[in-house]
């Protein structure tokens, strides 16, 4: 079963393309006539990374070179598991190919091959869709694709994948409650109007409440406020820490039966990684000194020489701890900041409400930033404990001692072959009435 955006474009878009083509051709002819008549001095102003288009920025950060072939059509073959939770490096290869071929100049059509996919996570599909939409808008790459042979995965692509975002008219499967992919930019709030991140944080909370309502439950007012604040903090970090002011968010609930449903939520942005943002700390800040002491300790213990664990990975892990923020520049204490661990708290919130004995596996979630992949499945949790300075802090170190001075479990914190130029959060959990009943009784 195949899909294509051919003939599906708005007539206004086609007319705009013709005008742009005529204008480019006019300029090309003018340049040819002017050659040899006079020498011209051009002053090229460097473009700041934060001002680049998304595809150009992705290529700039990852070192991807545009594909130079003159072939007008390219193929991208998706892996068996297209998932940032299970196989992040394979998912990144797909994103890299999308960028490389889209910027290749001669590529006018990209064929998406998903027929062999047996697992498609919404996060990976949403990230690929975000990049493809950029290419579809400019440089006007057109797309066609082959749906997965798996009926379940085909339904996921039909309901939430690239074809639906391109407006291709295909029958949509039943049983999905969607939070469509949202691309938003920083819009400051005023006394009379909420900021964009506040609006979207409220909407995702309302969406979760709507999902729960399908199983006869709802969030308490306190839980709604808590979740909204956590999502707002994650979006705030995406705007303030990442060098670029935009971000993406999406989700869906699939009601697999009357007994339970599986839910996926993703939030991601392109920009500075967690490690890069934290490395902007001033040399005399307490946090920077703490991280550098940890780095030296890991060097002394030869953890970095064992492979699969790098300084960047340690900086990224440290960025998730309580009180850690690049804005926390105090020299004597943590300064009361608690912005660095909102992502972990949000993940643990969904792990708690998202358990299911029927599903047969725990909720799984991950953070990908730069070359670091961090997996959450409930085995390791954030715990309050004393620091060496005697302060109470929330720590998650992903090892038995919950000690950042020790190397984390490499099944849960690992180094990636390919970098993701930003930060990505993937949540996969369940709505199970039996688990919700237990939570209701415990509250």
pLDDT tens per residue, range 6-52: 765 555 555 655 565 566 667 666 666 665 555 555 555 667 888 89
Q: What is the mean pLDDT of residues 122-130?
A: 97
pLDDT of residue 72: 87
Q: How far apart are CA 8 and CA 118, in angstroms?
A: 28
**Mean residue pLDDT across the chain:** 87
Confidence of residue 432 (pLDDT cuts 50, 70, 90): very high
Q: How far is CA 103 from CA 7, 58, 136, 222, in A?
A: 23, 11, 11, 47
pLDDT over 90, % of the chain: 63
Of 262, 260, 183, 214, the closest CA to residue 428 belongs to 262
Distance of alpha carbon 185 from the chain centroid: 15
More confident site: 145 or 170: 145
Task: Give 318 or 71, the one with higher predicted confidence.
Answer: 318
Is 139 a domain residue?
no
Q: What is the pLDDT of residue 133?
A: 94
Residue 106 has pLDDT above 60, yes or no: yes
DSSP string for residues in 265-293: EEEEEESS-HHHHHTTS-TT-HHHHHHHH
Bond from prior residue into 139 cis (ω within 30 degrees of 0): yes
Contact 236, 197 (CB under 8 A): yes
Strand partners, 177: 253
pLDDT, residue 32, reads: 60
Residue 380 contacts by C-beta under 8 Å, 6 or more apart in sequence?
Answer: 396, 397, 398, 399, 402, 409, 412
378 in a domain, yes or no? yes
Q: Is residue 179 part of a domain?
A: no
Q: Is residue 422 very low, low, confident or very high in pLDDT (cuts 50, 70, 90)?
A: very high
Mean pLDDT for 410-420 is 96
pLDDT for position 333: 41
More confident residue, 167 or 61: 61
Domain range holding 322?
Answer: 274-442
| Exposure on the CB side of residue 166, measured as CA atoms within 13 A | 30
On whether residue 369 sits in a domain, the answer given is yes
Residue-level pLDDT at 186 = 85
287: its two tokens? 């946090």
For residue 73, pLDDT beyond 60 = yes
Q: What is the pLDDT of residue 338?
A: 39
- Answer yes or no: is pLDDT of 440 > 70: yes
Residue 48 lies inside a defined structural domain of this protein: no
Q: Calculate mean pLDDT across residues 136-151.
A: 91
Q: Would residue 401 count as lying in a domain?
A: yes
Q: How far is CA 327 from the centre of its chain?
A: 22
Instruction: Report the pLDDT value the prediction gives residue 139, as an integer from 0 to 100.
Output: 76
What pLDDT is stored for residue 431 in this prediction?
95
**Contact, 281 vs 331, CB < 8 A?**
no
- 426 vs 323 pLDDT, higher one: 426
- Phi, psi dihedral angles at 208 (to 5 degrees): -60, -40
- Given this model, what pLDDT does residue 212 score? 95
- Both tokens of 407, joined, read 């190397």
**146 or 39: whose pLDDT is higher?**
146
Q: For residue 364, list its beta bridge partners.
A: 428
Question: Which among 408, 194, 421 is positioned nearest to 321, based on CA atoms?
Answer: 408
Helix axes 122-137, 151-160, angle to 10 degrees: 50
User: Within a domain: residue 256?
Assistant: no
- If one counts every other C-beta atom within 10 angstroms of the C-beta of residue 294, the result is 17
Number of folded domains that form the chain = 1
Is pLDDT at 398 greater than 80 in this prediction? yes
pLDDT at 336 over 50: no
């Amino acid at each position: 079963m195949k899909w294509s955006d051919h003939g599906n474009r708005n007539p206004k878009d086609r007319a705009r393309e013709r005008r742009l083509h005529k204008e480019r051709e006019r300029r090309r002819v003018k340049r040819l006539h002017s050659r040899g008549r006079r020498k011209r001095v051009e002053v090229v102003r460097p473009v700041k990374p934060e001002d680049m288009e998304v595809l150009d920025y992705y290529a700039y950060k990852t070192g991807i070179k545009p594909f130079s072939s003159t072939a007008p059509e390219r193929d991208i073959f998706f892996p068996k598991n297209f998932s940032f939770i299970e196989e992040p490096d394979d998912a990144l290869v797909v994103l890299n190919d999308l960028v490389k071929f889209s910027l290749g100049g001669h590529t006018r059509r990209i064929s998406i091959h998903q027929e062999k996919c047996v697992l498609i996570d919404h996060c990976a599909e949403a990230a690929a869709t975000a990049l493809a939409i950029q290419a579809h808008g400019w440089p006007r790459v057109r797309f066609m694709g082959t749906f997965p042979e798996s009926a379940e995965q085909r339904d996921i692509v039909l309901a939430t994948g690239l074809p639906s975002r391109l407006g291709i008219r295909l029958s949509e499967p039943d049983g999905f409650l969607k939070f469509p992919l949202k691309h938003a930019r920083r819009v400051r709030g005023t006394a009379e109007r909420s900021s964009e991140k506040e609006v979207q944080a409220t909407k995702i909370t309302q969406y979760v409440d709507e999902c729960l309502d399908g199983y006869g439950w709802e969030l308490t007012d306190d839980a709604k406020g808590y979740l909204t604040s956590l999502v707002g903090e994650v979006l705030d970090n995406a705007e303030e820490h990442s060098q670029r002011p935009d971000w993406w968010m999406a989700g869906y609930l699939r009601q697999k039966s009357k007994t339970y449903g599986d839910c996926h939520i993703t939030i991601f942005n392109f920009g500075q990684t967690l490690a890069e943002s934290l490395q902007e700390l001033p040399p005399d800040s307490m946090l920077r000194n703490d991280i550098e002491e940890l780095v030296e300790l890991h060097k002394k213990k030869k953890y970095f020489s064992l492979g699969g664990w790098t300084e960047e990975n340690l900086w990224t892990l440290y960025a998730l701890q309580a009180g850690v923020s690049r804005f926390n520049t105090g020299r004597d204490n943590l300064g009361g900041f608690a912005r660095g661990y909102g992502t972990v708290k949000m993940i643990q919130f969904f792990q708690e409400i998202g358990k299911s004995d029927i599903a047969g596996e725990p909720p799984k979630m991950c953070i990908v930033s730069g070359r670091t992949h961090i997996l959450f499945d409930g085995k390791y949790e954030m715990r309050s404990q004393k620091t060496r300075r005697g302060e109470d802090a929330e720590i998650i170190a992903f090892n038995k001692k919950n000690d950042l001075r020790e190397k984390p479990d490499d099944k849960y914190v690992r180094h990636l072959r390919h970098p993701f130029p930003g930060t990505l959060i993937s949540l996969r959990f369940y709505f199970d009435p039996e688990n919700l009943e237990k939570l209701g009784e415990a509250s």
